[in-house]
Amino acid sequence: MNRLPEYKDILQAAECISPYAKRTPVLTSTWFNRQTGGKLFFKCENFQKVGAFKFRGACNAVMLLDKTDAKKGVITHSSGNHAQAVALAASLNGYKATIVMPKNSPSVKVNAVREYGAEIVFCENTIESREETAKKIMENTGDVFIHPYNHPDVIAGQGTAAKELLDEQPDLDVIIVPVGGGGLMSGTLIAAKSINPKIEVIGAEPELADDAWRSFKSGQIEPVLRTDTIADGLRTSLGELTFSAIQNLADDIVTVPEESIIRDMRNVWERMKIIIEPSCAVPVSALMDGKISAEGKKAGIILTGGNVDLNSLPWL
């Protein structure tokens, strides 16, 4: 069923994951309001199970699997948070999980995947190497593949974050999300535009991984050219499904430099007292750098995750 989910699939996902996923809080910050001239509402998916929104999509996708197929095992490739998410979702169902991880994945994420009982297979730091490695394993084992973003049930699960945010703050003018593979942005677009077509949904990505911005402008999927942005959750290219959602529904995509990402990661830690990973800071920087204006608006920001290696902070 290689089609985009509809809003009813997001509502079904919300029900399906509700016994397992957290309903995360929405925080505000006087300081950020003052800096941006808007009213910002931060949906704290860094407090989600496995420390990231990725659990929503993985949980929904694993729950919806055919049980006979899934008994052979589930497999995915991921630089980190989707890996933990699939590992936990599989273990909740008693399924075996194998995770293909690029060699440059942060150690905190590798360790967490191990803690959830999954088997890890390392590969090179490219999307091609991830896919090939996973494919070889699947040929031997018959494992079911859970794609990190280009998967209708994953996209439906990610859309539940925006739905919850809008349950709590129905009159947002704009929602800003980071774009990696585009799963969160696709789910957010479908949820938000179904609830209120007037809500703007804007993607934010690092200048060093601006593939979604280039794809949005050119009208075809442009691959990510480098994988060295500090925003390690955003080093992937769009898939066919996520590109089609973004192409048809997105209002805009903007990009921000590495210095801004590090500065605003620290600003969020210092001013809001919450731990976010670099990818999370990208939409915040889009506002702080004036790439998106929040002046006089109510803006929702999905803070995507909080898995950071506390031994190596980017500003030290």
> Would you tell me which residues interact with its own copies (CB under 8 A)?
25, 27, 30, 46-47, 49, 51, 108, 266, 269-270, 272-276, 306, 310-311, 313, 315-316
Of the pair 22, 71, the CB lying nearest its own copies is at 22
Pairing of strands 74-77, 252-256: unpaired
CB of 275 to its own copies, least distance (A): 4
Of the pair 47, 149, the CB lying nearest its own copies is at 47
Q: Is 107 exposed, middle or buried (0-12, 13-18, 19+ CB in 10 A)?
A: exposed
- Alpha-carbon span 304 to 225, nearest angstrom: 23
Q: Do the beta carbons of residue 75 and residue 145 sit within 8 Å?
A: yes
CB of 47 to its own copies, least distance (A): 6
CB of 46 to its own copies, least distance (A): 4
CB of 199 to its own copies, least distance (A): 25
The pair of three-digit structure tokens given for residue 300, joined into one six-digit string: 């929702």
Of the pair 93, 227, the CB lying nearest its own copies is at 93
CB atoms within 10 A of CB 262: 18
Q: Do the beta carbons of residue 14 and residue 63 sit within 8 Å?
A: no
CB of 205 to its own copies, least distance (A): 22
| Contacts (Cβ under 8 Å, ≥6 apart) of 286 | 176, 202, 204, 254, 256, 292
- Alpha-carbon span 165 to 131, nearest angstrom: 33
Of the pair 139, 315, the CB lying nearest its own copies is at 315
Of the pair 46, 160, the CB lying nearest its own copies is at 46
Name residue 96's amino acid: K
Sign of the alpha-carbon dihedral angle for 62, 64, 65, 66 = positive
The pair of three-digit structure tokens given for residue 80, joined into one six-digit string: 């980190």
Of the pair 156, 301, the CB lying nearest its own copies is at 301
Of the pair 46, 186, the CB lying nearest its own copies is at 46
CB of 167 to its own copies, least distance (A): 16
Laid out side by side, the sheet with 252-256 consists of 26-27, 39-44, 298-303, 174-178, 200-206, 252-256
Q: What angle do CA 145, 146, 150 make, to 5 degrees?
A: 115
DSSP single-letter state for residue 235: -
Of the pair 248, 312, the CB lying nearest its own copies is at 312
CB of 272 to its own copies, least distance (A): 7
CB of 308 to its own copies, least distance (A): 8
